[in-house]
Amino acid sequence: MRILSIVGARPNFMKLAPLDRVLASHPDLEHVIVHTGQHYDRNMSDSFFDDLGIPEPHYNLEVGSGSHAWQTGAIMQAFEPVCKDVGPNVVLVFGDVNSTVATALVAAKLGIKVGHVEAGLRSRDWGMPEEINRVVTDRLSDLLLTPSPDADENLRAEGVPPERIHFVGNIMIDSLVYALPRAVEFNAAGNRDLSPGEYSVVTLHRPSNVDDPESLEDLMSALEELSCSSPVIFPVHPRTKTRLESIGWVGSDSADLRLLAPVGYLEMLSLVQSSGMVITDSGGLQEETSFLGVPCITVRPNTERPITCTEGTNQLVVPRGEAIVEAAGLAPGRRIEGGAKIDKWDGNAAERIVEVFRSAGL
Sorted by where each begins, the domain ranges of the chain are 2-169+344-360, 181-334
58 noted as active-site residue: no
pLDDT tens digit sequence for 123-164 = 999 988 999 999 999 999 999 999 999 999 999 999 999 999
The number of residues making up the chain comes to 362
C-alpha to C-alpha distance for 260 and 277, rounded to whole angstroms: 17
- Residue in 58, 116, 205, 237 annotated catalytic: 205
Bridge partner list, 258: 233
> Does 41 score more than 70 pLDDT?
no
**Cα of 248 vs its chain's centroid, Å:** 29
> Does 239 score more than 90 pLDDT?
no
H-run or E-run covering 329: helix 321-330
> Does 46 score more than 80 pLDDT?
no
> Does 308 score more than 60 pLDDT?
yes
pLDDT value at residue 40: 56
C-alpha to C-alpha distance for 256 and 117, rounded to whole angstroms: 39
Q: Which residues, including other chains, have CB under 8 Å from residue 176's CB and lie 6 or more apart? A: 14, 269, 288, 291, 292, 347
Over pLDDT 90: what percentage of the chain?
86
pLDDT tens digit sequence for 24-38 = 999 999 999 999 987
pLDDT value at residue 43: 53
Cα separations in angstroms, 77 against 40, 112, 129, 136: 18, 16, 20, 18
pLDDT tens digit sequence for 268-294 = 999 999 999 999 999 999 999 999 999
H-run or E-run covering 35: strand 30-35
Band of pLDDT at residue 66, cut at 50, 70 and 90:
confident
Q: Are strands 277-280 and 257-260 parallel, antiparallel or unpaired?
A: unpaired
pLDDT value at residue 256: 95
Which is the CATH superfamily of the domain at 2-169+344-360? Answer: Glycogen Phosphorylase B; (3.40.50.2000)
How many Å is the Cα radius of gyration of the chain? 20
Mean per-residue pLDDT over the chain, rounded: 94
Within 10 Å of residue 83's Cβ, how many Cβ atoms?
A: 18
The dihedral built from the CA positions of residue 76, 69, 303 and 46, taken in this order, carries a sign that is positive
pLDDT value at residue 309: 98
Q: At the topology level of CATH, where does 181-334 sit?
A: Rossmann fold (3.40.50)
Predicted model pTM: 0.93
pLDDT value at residue 104: 98
Are 2-169+344-360 and 181-334 the same fold in CATH? yes
| Helix-strand-coil split of the chain, %, nearest 5 | 50, 15, 35
Of 83, 91, 82, nearest in space to 143 by CA: 91
